[in-house]
Amino acid sequence: MNKRYPLTIKPYFIIGRYIATPVLIVLVVFFSTLTGYAEASKKSPNRIKNITYTHTVKNEEITILLEKEISYQACFLDHNPKQKLPYRLYLDLHDTTLDTKVNKADIPSSSAIKRIRIAQKNNTTTRVVLDIKNKIFREDYKIIQSKNQKAIIIEIENKKAKQNDKARLVKELVLSEKHPQKILGGTSDLCTVVIDPGHGGKDPGATGYQKTREKDVCLSLGLKLQEHINSKKGYKAILTRNSDIFLSLDERGIIANKNNADIFISLHANSHENTKITGIETYYLSFASDEEARKVAARENFTTTSKISDLEMIFFDLLQNNKINQSSILAGYVHNAMVNKISDKYHEKIRNLGIKHAPMRVLINTEMPCILIETAFISNPKEAKKLKSLAFQNTLSASIFNGIENFKSARETAFNKTAP
Ligand SMILES: [Zn+2]
């Protein structure tokens, strides 16, 4: 825009220019200083005002209140037994410095949270860590930011309350006799054990010292274990295979389910490129998350997850949890019996590799407590020889059966105690 002014006004403009310019400079300096202050105050670090704890029947809540708006990053960490670190949920609060005087909430002993820790991670980040007593899944907690962005609320679901809800719903379902009570820890007079000798047929499994094949030692072991189990009144053992045939992993579980088994045991031999490695380990099934269990439910009973009603979902969820809990207990009894008996018999300390959990496919379809035993290392000359010897097979099967008996009697005691 180019507007021409009449001549008469021009002098005022000239004078105005001489006065206005310094004023303008002053103003610019003044405002830029103000903005500078604003910038500086924006950059001064945020601080935690306090951390509070509240709880309701369904939830526990940790609120982190800050002086200013906050941006943060949250992360969940698995437990680390070696370093004695529990499950952890942590928040990195950006542009925040640690105030040592921050008021930290007292956590009651009944809480799912063990304690709260605060540390200065680096110059600009403060980390707030919640040590969690037991594993929680992603859907068990929520992190919400307040509207004014100055508070972060961590909401942890009370699992006990949720469990009670589930237990009530399951009880109703069981009473409708839609599902067998056996899975929930009931007992029957006859205990059926399905033994699954790993691999077979076109799948030899691992090949070890002097070409010892895993499928062969698993079959011999399985046959021996069947003998032990069948010799005792009140027990019946069924093999998924009693010859050198191939079975898919799913078929093995199906055999156990069809036979209404109480216990499923898959027998394997371990292998390692380092032939010096020896030892025994027992696995039970565990999912990485509840989401996984949902997918299994969909595959097992229904065509799509969307067709699964909430109630059936809850029921299956609990069955899975119960199966996993029972399987971990079974793993404990069998594993300890094996380690003790073999150490006694061979007068040497067997390398105890412990009880582990993994998403073992062969254990997914079974509806009863199930474990997978890596009996010894076929790749180690000494253990390969042992695996082939009748004496060792005998001791090992006897100890596995011992563990089964201990598990059964413990379960009966527990069931009788809790039965109405
Ligand atoms: Zn195997």
Around ion ligand 1, residues with a beta carbon closer than 5 Å are: 198, 205, 268
Give the closest residue to 198 by CA, choosing from 241, 158, 232, 233.
241
Within a domain: 10: no
Q: How many domains does the structure of the chain reveal?
A: 2
pLDDT of residue 223: 97
CATH number at residue 305: 3.40.630.40
pLDDT of residue 164: 57
pLDDT surpassing 70 at residue 81: yes
Centre of ligand 1 from the C-alpha of residue 204, in Å? 9
Q: How does pLDDT run across 316-339, given as a tens digit for each residue?
A: 555 566 788 889 999 999 999 999
Same domain, 194 and 281: yes
User: Angle, to 10 degrees, between the axis of helix 381-388 and the axis of helix 214-230?
Assistant: 40
pTM of the predicted model, to two decimals?
0.52
Q: Which residues contact 381 (CB under 8 A, 6 or more apart)?
A: 209, 210, 275
Within a domain: 402: yes
**How far is 219 from 98, CA to CA, in rounded Å?**
62
pLDDT of residue 19: 53
pLDDT surpassing 60 at residue 36: no
CATH number at residue 119: 2.60.40.3500
Same domain, 176 and 216: yes
User: Could you list the residue range(s) of the whole structural domain that residue 289 is in?
Assistant: 163-418
pLDDT of residue 120: 86
Q: How many residues does the chain have?
A: 420
Centre of ligand 1 from the C-alpha of residue 160, in Å? 38
**How far is 155 from 363, CA to CA, in rounded Å?**
34
Within a domain: 32: no
> Which domain-ending residue is among 122, 137, 157?
157
Q: Are 134 and 111 in contact (CB under 8 A)?
A: no
Centre of ligand 1 from the C-alpha of residue 343, in Å? 23
Q: Are 282 and 221 in contact (CB under 8 A)?
A: no
321 sits in which H/E element = helix 310-346
Centre of ligand 1 from the C-alpha of residue 386, in Å? 17
Within a domain: 172: yes
Same domain, 94 and 201: no
Radius of gyration of the chain (CA): 33
DSSP state of 83: G
Same domain, 183 and 312: yes
Centre of ligand 1 from the C-alpha of residue 373, in Å? 9
Same domain, 145 and 174: no
Centre of ligand 1 from the C-alpha of residue 110, in Å? 42
Same domain, 101 and 230: no
| Average confidence (pLDDT) over 83-99 | 86
Residue type (1 letter), 226: Q
